[in-house]
Amino acid sequence: MKYHYQFVSNHSVRIELIPEDRKELHLLELSSASLQIQQDEVLIAYFRKGLAAYSRDANLTLTRFMNFPKVALCTYETQHITIEKVVNII
């Protein structure tokens, strides 16, 4: 799966899923027929993976579909590791 990103704010990004093969295209087609948008963990996992590629320290908190199932506004939180946190871990 390829991803197209559009910056929205410091904690939001628009992500578009771009399928690369028939398997991924079929997954999106099945998701578009599904009535359980929030329960589709496989689809949400693709958005998490895309978000991780966009920002390594981001944790997906909310997915709002703009064009289901391919385009979503993804809200995230970042966890910055500081020296103090590293010292506490050691």
Quick: pLDDT tens for 47-86.
999 999 998 889 999 999 999 899 999 999 987 665 555 5
Q: Is 56 exposed, middle or buried (0-12, 13-18, 19+ CB in 10 A)?
A: exposed
What are the E-state strand segments in the chain? Answer: 2-9, 12-18, 58-67, 71-78
Q: How many domains does the chain have?
A: 1
Does the predicted model carry a pTM greater than 0.85? no
Q: Which two tokens stand for residue 58?
A: 């981001």
Owning domain of residue 22: 2-89
